[in-house]
Structure 1
Amino acid sequence: MSLILLGLFLALLMIGAPVAVSLGLSSAIVIVANGLPVSVLAQRALNALDSSPLLAVPLFILAANLLNAMGVTTHLFDLVRLLLGRVQGAVAQVSVLVSLIFSGISGAALADIGALGAVQINQMKAQGYREDFAAGLTIAAATIGPIFPPSIPIIIYASVANVSAVKLLVAGIIPALLLTALLMIQVAIMARIKGLPRDTVRPTVKAVTAKFIVSFPALMAPVLLIGGLMSGYFGPTEVAGVTVAYACLIGVFVYRSLTWAKTVACLRETVEATANILFIVSAAALFAWVLTLDRVPLIASELLLGLTDNPFMLLLLVNVFLLIVGMVLESIAAILIIAPIIAPALALAGVDPLQLGIVFVLNLMIGLLTPPVGMSLFMVSIVTKIPVPVVVRGVLPFLAPLLLALIVVSAVPALSTWLPNYLVK
């Protein structure tokens, strides 16, 4: 049954069917062909959406859309430029830091690229950077968003792997900071080797102070979000709702740029993005259920544990597998299909569920940078009109810090487990 399911799924993908359609239709055909009740289709699809953590997804998307509509990304970019001053390669370093700051708002790599991509790349090109370098760095920096809270992929992983969403979100903080540091080191090395230009801005105390005052309300959004999660008073859904309310308040009363027309446009974008995500969630739930009926998770557990019982070696095997999967499968669909199969096996081997969640998501985010289905590559190409081959050439040097971060997080469980276990009881 599983072989037929996988064959139908791959066949539908090859003829160009969307991922969600491929997952749902192949599952439906197998369910009907095996004489199972058709009502199972609706029941399993609806059960997958009946999840409290998933309520946070549309709220985080809405918060990011609202803040982007106010133009806060430009304020943040200008502030960090002033703070870094005339360091060699400063605008490239700014792109990395702004991606970290904005990741505390958006929670998705493609959202970061959509909001910041054109601004980052145009600023670097205006300073004399090659467009392939600018595009590659922008894509690499966008991988920080799905690791640092709020992370939509992490919330979805927590919902299917039965892990505390709050703990898993907090677990991403240190790995995201590590990833940021490694990318900035890579930029510094390339700045010296390639002679990257210095920024043209000349920071003064007056200019920095003025821009900080303008940016302060936007900077408080990720502080409010992370503080709410760490305090224990809010879960992901509650803190997402608070962030939306905060975005509305500063948009209306502080920046005074959030009009009714912009709000309606943000709501429309949120509904469209949420519908796409939840369609995949429900279709993948059917797919995973059929695999479970055929005992695939149990077989996979026995296979993995038969190879080795060393947690680190198992993580390395899973890393290689997920990097390949990330090249051909959309990240949310991959989480929904593969996490229920792999997570139980690695838990039995002694891998901490928090570490596995971060390693799992980081793998798939690196997959967004790799062809043939690297969504980040195509997103940057669409936003900036840069040809995809040029984007691919630019991203290659930045795979080194991303893969190094993946190895370190896989080898050192404390990077993912210490902070949530210390702060979240």
Structure 2
Amino acid sequence: MSVALITVIATLLILLLIGAPVVMAIGTAAMSYFLVQPDMLSNLIMYAHRMFTGMDSFIYICIPLFMISGELMGRTGLMDRIVSFCRIFVGRLRGGIAYVTILASMIFGCISGSGLACIAALGPIEISMMKEEGYKKEFAAALTATAAIQGPVIPPSIPAVMFAGLASVSVGSMFTGCLVPGILLGVAQMIVVAIMAKKYGFPKSDVHYSKKEALQIILNSFGAIFMVLIVLGGILSGVFTATEASAIAVVYVLLLDILMSHKLKAADIWAALKSTAKGSTSIFLIIGFSSVISWILAMESVPIMISNWCTAANISPYLLLFIFNVFCLFNGMWISDSAQLVLFAPIFVPIFSSMGVSPVHIGVVMVVNVMIGMLTPPFGMALYTTASVSGCDLKKIVKASLPFTAVCAAILFIVTYCPTLTIALPQFLGYTT
């Protein structure tokens, strides 16, 4: 391992440990290689070139488009209708509002593909409803945070889109591969709620709907639900690509507001554009800077060294998958989901592929991994976002979220060692895995 590579790794770790922004840490670490490695300073243009080529992918266009569709949906008032729609089916159970939170997050995740957008749009509604029915604020905030991570696993998934671009696999295969694990995460969280509801006597909702009222709620929420069918149905049937679907989603939300809601003003659209610009800019900068580091690791033959080490140590794919999961979960404490995907997918996908592990399977495992990383402090962006939305102390949210984080980790390992859960549906639909 060269001195320059050691410098890159040390710079990245030190900056992350002292709390530097992830974008700054990755960009500075990448630059340190050109300053330390002999003869690389004269090739500094490669820094800009690799950064640009890392972001220059047609697939990535759908990232800001899915984000803005979620932003616009949150400003049309349709979130209340989605919540009401969910209450019809699970609201009368003991702990019903907790179930509603999970189910609504699953549905909204199918619209935005972003966990943080889900927290921002649904969090105030869900937390307020749970507090009104007697739930502790920290529990309401913790459930909102953990329920949001399944949204980016269920398609359309921004992390899945990123992995598809990095590993050169089809977006459709990643979307269908993520579908079952995403649903399993939601089901597992509901099981935790059911156990806690019985143990702690969670309240039952006293809201009852007549058949006429239930039908009216379903009709009112049909526009939002139909968007999910359009996006997923179009992609999975091959009618349009993920990028085209994201553009259609934006147009659909605007038409839905014009025909039904009439709530979007020019100021709302401008605010949605600004929010999307900030969020997508951060993602694209992380992709660009991480691409430089991935190129550096390839230049230093790191993937070959890891592959040779695995061969020499006679490590089985099962053991390597376990090590990989622990590695990603640990890194989730310090590195964002986007950065982990861009940094490690180019290294580990070829290694696992040489061992006979499907790229789609390892991609789904990575996506679930980095989403759980949103719940692990000190980085834990889902926790910080929920703390900001709820006004609850971060430490209390972390403590209350532990049962849900634990069950999500259990689902991760089930998905890891049951590849059928990730590749059976793509194969059935004719995708290459």
User: What's the TM-score, normalizing by structure 2?
Assistant: 0.95
Matches within 5 A, 1:400-419: 400-419=406-425
Q: What is the aligned partner in structure 1 of residue 31 from structure 2?
A: 28
Name the CA distance, whole Å, in 2 between partners of 1:219 and 1:235: 20
Residue 124 of structure 1: aligned partner: 130
**2:8 alignment partner, one of 5, 9, 21:** 5
| Residue 175 in structure 1 maps to residue 178 in structure 2 | no
SS in 2 for 1:172: helix
Residue from 39, 48, 62 that aligns with 1:42: 48
Quick check: 2:110–2:156 contact (8 Å CA) kept in 1? yes
Question: After the TM superposition, which residues 9-408 of structure 1 pair with which residues of structure 2 at under 5 Å, given as runs?
Answer: 9-34=12-37, 35-36=39-40, 37-408=43-414
Which deviates the most, 394-403 or 27-36?
27-36
CA distance in 2, matches of 1:85, 1:149: 25
The SS at the match of 2:332 is: helix
- CA drift at 1:22: 1.4
Q: Distance in 2 between matches of 1:103 and 1:283?
A: 27
Superposition deviation, residue 309 in structure 1: 4.6
Report if the CA contact (8 A) 1:85-1:202 is conserved. no
Runs (4+) of structure 1 exceeding 4 A deviation are none
Cα distance, 1:409 vs structure 2: 0.6
- Offset, 1:85: 4.2
Deviation sequence 1:227-249 (CA, Å, 0-9, x none) = 01111122211111111111111
SS for the counterpart of 1:144 is coil
TM-fit CA distance, 1:257: 1.4
Q: Is the 8 A contact 1:90 1:198 kept in 2?
A: yes
Distance 1:126 1:307 in 2: 57
Q: Could you tell me how far apart the structure 2 residues matched to 1:230 and 1:84 are?
A: 28
Q: Cα deviations across residues 84-103 of structure 1 (Å, max 9, x unaligned)?
A: 24211111011111011111
Letter in 2 for 1:31: F
Describe the superposition over 1:350-391 as per-residue Cα deviations: whole angstroms up to 9, x where unpaired: 111111111111111111111111111111111111000110
In 1, the alpha carbon distance for the partners of 2:262 and 2:309 equals: 59
Question: 1:11/1:265 Cα in 2 relative to 1: closer, same or farther (>3 Å)?
Answer: same
Change (3 A) 1:322 1:215: same
TM-score normalised per structure 1: 0.97
- The one-letter code matched in structure 2 to 1:69 is R
Separation in 2 of the partners of 1:252 and 1:374? 37
Local SS of the residue matching 1:135: helix
Query: Is this contact kept in 2: 1:83–1:208, CA < 8 A?
Result: no
The Cα shift of 1:83 comes to 2.6
Deviation of 1:190 (Å): 1.0
- Give the Cα separation in 1 of the matches to 2:260 and 2:295: 48
Q: Take 1:240 and 1:305, find their aligned partners in 2: how far apart are those partners?
A: 42
Deviation readout 1:244-263 (Å, 9 max, x if unpaired): 11111101122111222211
Partners of 1:169 and 1:85 in 2: CA distance: 29
Give a deviation string over 1:295-333, Cα, whole Å, max 9, x none.
111112222344445332221111111111111111111
One-letter amino acid matched to 2:393: P
Q: Closer, same or farther in 2 for the Cα pair 1:85/1:382, shift >3 Å? A: closer
Q: Which amino acid aligns with 2:271?
A: A
Q: Distance in 1 between matches of 2:381 and 2:310?
A: 29
Secondary structure at the aligned position of 1:328 is classed as coil
One-letter code aligned to 2:336: E
Between the aligned partners of 1:292 and 1:232, the Cα distance in structure 2 is 34
Question: 1:223 & 1:305 partners in 2: Cα distance?
Answer: 45
Query: Greater shift after overlay, 295-304 or 316-325?
Result: 295-304
Total equivalences in the alignment: 425
| Structure 2, gaps ≥5 residues long | none
Which ranges in structure 1 are unaligned for 5 or more consecutive residues? none
* Aligned-residue RMSD, C-alpha: 1.4
The 2-side partners of 1:358 and 1:340 are apart by 15
Check whether the contact 2:138–2:400 (CA below 8 A) recurs between aligned residues. yes
Alpha carbons 2:91, 2:100 under 8 Å: kept: no
Distance across 2 between alignment mates of 1:308 and 1:211: 59
Which amino acid in 1 is paired with 2:5?
S
For 2:317 and 2:258, how far apart are their aligned partners in 1? 51
For the residues of structure 2 that align with 1:175 and 1:381, how far apart are their CA atoms?
A: 27
Of residues 92-101 and 252-261 in structure 1, the stretch that sits farther from structure 2 once superposed is 252-261
Query: For the residues of structure 1 that align with 2:162 and 2:219, how far apart are their CA atoms?
Result: 35
* Secondary structure in structure 1 of the residue aligned to 2:375: coil
